[in-house]
Amino acid sequence: MDAREEQRLVQHIREQTSILNVDNISRTKAYQNFYFSYPEIRWAFLASMVSRNAGWNMTDLQMDPFQSMLSNQEKRNLFSTYERANWLIFSDAYPQLLLYAISSDKGERLFHLLPKFSISKFMEKEWIYFWENRDYSRLVTALIINEQNVIQKPVIEQSFYKHEVFQRLPFRSQDLFHLSAVLFPTLKGKIYGAYVHDFFHLSNRITLGKKLNALLFHKDLHHEFIAFAKYTEPLGSRIEYERYFTTRMPKAPMLRMVYPVITHQDNIRKDWFHSGRSVKKKWWKDEEADLSIDVSNRFYAKRYLLQAWDRLEKTSIN
């Protein structure tokens, strides 16, 4: 491939990434479609399922008890946090996926173009290693490590989000009472997943990502998660999986009915791998899926408890 062809390829990838990075639903579909085309890239399926969770969390802010417990500004700040983090991850990860797809289709390694998209040197080395060794598990872990490092400074440590979101009571209370969970539903109405603890800490998010990956690709469950993804259109709403429950649930809104498209500014990002942050050995450690916890019952029991508490508060005030 000559320089002119490479230039056209880079422009094509930028355009496709921009088109598909419009909102949570377009990201979820893009990740999912990529995985179905290239199932060896397991991280893409993990990203699609985690992206669904981000959409559910966004629309939760428009439902009780959060609708009445949080101020409009608090809801905007929390939505902005979900949206910014997921936009940044997609803007970093999707060019990598497309470049792999083109390399695979052409039978020609093109990872030397990754710096054109401000991709970390860490991932350039990992993609080359994957191309030569086909270590599927290592690539998933590498992408989890990379993407969580990508959002660490621009979102987690960024002054506004740090002071207006992560250190504020609404976010801290979700962590304190274990009200945040990443859920992987099935068509049978059974839900698996894991709770999100200490989201502010980089190593904890990496560990969570590895546990979720182990769960999503568990030999006894993977086919159930695939069936859910294939037959359930992403709506950015918990109605996606609550329709499979035997009990009646309050109707959750759909994301595109309650949120506008957000325009993001992509400042020049420094390579985290060359910014004083090294790769810790524990980040490479494998994690196992925990199937012993009934995430759905605990998650919804706490949500109902919070809702009841909110109603009691309103009653006592009146």
What tens digit of pLDDT does each residue of 173-189 get?
555 444 578 999 999 99
In b/e form, how buried is each residue of 58-95, taking b as 16+ CB within 10 angstroms?
Answer: bbbbbbebbeebbeeebbebbbbbbbbbbbbbbbbbbb
Quick check: 93 pLDDT over 80?
A: yes
Residue 109: φ, ψ to 5°: -70, 120
- Quick check: 235 and 242 in contact, CB under 8 A? no
Quick check: 144 pLDDT over 50?
A: yes
- pLDDT of res. 176: 42
pTM for this model (two decimals): 0.92
Residue 246: φ, ψ to 5°: -80, -25
- pLDDT of res. 301: 65
Label residue 167 by pLDDT band (50, 70, 90): confident
Quick check: 146 pLDDT over 70?
A: yes
Label residue 232 by pLDDT band (50, 70, 90): very high
CA distances from 302 to 89, 223, 249 (A): 30, 29, 15
Rounded Cα distance between 166 and 157, Å, is 9
Q: Where are the domains of the chain?
A: 3-317
- pLDDT of res. 178: 44
